[in-house]
Amino acid sequence: MPVKFSFFLFILLLSISQTLFADRYVLRHLCFKPEKPLFMASFFQHELYKKDVENYESCIKQYISEQKRAIVSHQEAIKEAAGDWKIFEEQNQ
């Protein structure tokens, strides 16, 4: 009997912990803002800055695109879960 209870308690705690921490951690972008060169910086430094700005923009756009895909995926999962519930309700009336 104690083994069944401890197993049940373990499963209960495992499911609660996953529910509590499901979307608590949101990945932030890992893009680095370029630092603008000083007024007296060389032409080469200004060109590097322009390239860094382009890379930063590309990184941010990629992050936004990934997050939009995740939103679509979550919305589809929500619709599927709602549909599953509706089917369950209809079958158990």
Whole-model pTM above 0.75? no
Among positive and negative, which fits the CA dihedral 69, 70, 75, 76? Answer: positive
pLDDT of residue 21: 53
Residues in the chain: 93
pLDDT by residue for the chain (93 residues), tens only, comes to 455 655 555 665 555 555 555 566 778 889 999 999 988 899 999 999 999 999 999 999 999 999 999 999 999 999 999 999 999 999 998
